[in-house]
Amino acid sequence: MRLKPLRKTCLASFLIAASVLIFVPAKASEKDATATYKETIEFIKEHKISAYYKNDSEAALVFFGSRHTFNSGDPQLKAIENFFALLKPTLVLTEGGRWPVAKDKVAAITAYSEMGFLTFLAHANEVKFDSLDLDYQAQVNYALKRHDPLDVSVYTIIRLIPQWRDQYGYEAISRKIDQYLANEEFKNTFPLNTGPKNFNELKAYCAQKFPDVKNILDFDYHLTANGIQPDVLMKVSASFSEVRDAYMEKKIMQEIEKGERVFAIAGTPHLAKIVPNLLKKYSN
């Protein structure tokens, strides 16, 4: 199947600078498409949002690369709404699973990030929604075959620190870590006696593995703290990304082949691996 764009040449220099690829919808009138297109492009240029969009008369795709946020005033949300209105999707796919439906837009973003926000839009417009992501246990199992189980378990905790900081504040992180480690779901995810049992054990592991990190509560979404990006975490992260990106790409292609109008959303780094393959398959 080929997804033919309405136009694709006017953003050549912009695409190189911002790694963004946009195609306007063929079903919109030229006047309406141009107005909404320009507004959306300005938003993307100003806020460095990554997106991939292709469309024809039936199957279509918006693949939106987001910066994870719980801020209801984040400008990404307007861009998401713009793309949703342009595409008129028949299916929404979200990174991280199938998210709960919140009572309103603000609750959706503050509780479930931009993933919950798009889920809310889908539900409010009676659009199907599902997970873009591989089952979490399958992700973990893939990484466990390639890395020390302790390193894998610690990675899965560290990756949540910036999310908890954004949601609950800096002072709440250690408490959230203790709660997470005491959860039976976490315990059952890993082999018996793998991983730290509480926040203090996590700190001890980190002090030994990457002593130059002064405070593990400072880790960001890029696994960087105090200017340091520990190699052990990046190697585990690469394995998670490898298996997840392959699944996401396959999932998107399967739904396009079914004729769905797909709005998929994932963190921006996923686009770097997936979009070139989508372009290779669907571009003329």
pLDDT in tens, 149-183: 999 999 999 999 999 999 999 999 999 999 999 88
Q: What is the pLDDT of residue 8?
A: 34
pLDDT digits (tens, 9 = 90+) for 129-145: 999 999 999 999 999 99
Q: How confident is the model at residue 185 (pLDDT cuts 50, 70, 90)?
A: confident
Average pLDDT over residues 71-78: 89
The CA distance from 105 to 259, in Å, is 29
**Token pair of 267, please?**
């963190």
Q: What is the DSSP string of 258-279?
A: TT-EEEEEEEHHHHHHHHHHHH
pTM equals 0.81
**Cβ-proximal residues to 100 (8 Å cutoff; 6+ apart), any chain:** 111, 112, 116, 119
pLDDT digits (tens, 9 = 90+) for 89-125: 999 999 999 999 999 999 999 999 999 999 999 999 9
- Strand 261-267 vs strand 50-55: parallel, antiparallel, or unpaired? unpaired
CA distances for 225 relative to 195, 199, 216, angstroms: 21, 17, 7
For residues 252 and 61, the answer to whether their CB atoms sit within 8 Å is: yes
**Token pair of 12, please?**
């050549």
**Cβ-proximal residues to 234 (8 Å cutoff; 6+ apart), any chain:** 223
The single-letter code of the amino acid at 25 is P
pLDDT digits (tens, 9 = 90+) for 244-284: 999 999 999 999 889 888 999 998 888 878 888 887 777 65
pLDDT digits (tens, 9 = 90+) for 231-240: 999 999 999 9
pLDDT at 83 over 70: yes
pLDDT at 19 over 50: no
Q: What is the average pLDDT value for the chain, to the nearest integer?
A: 81
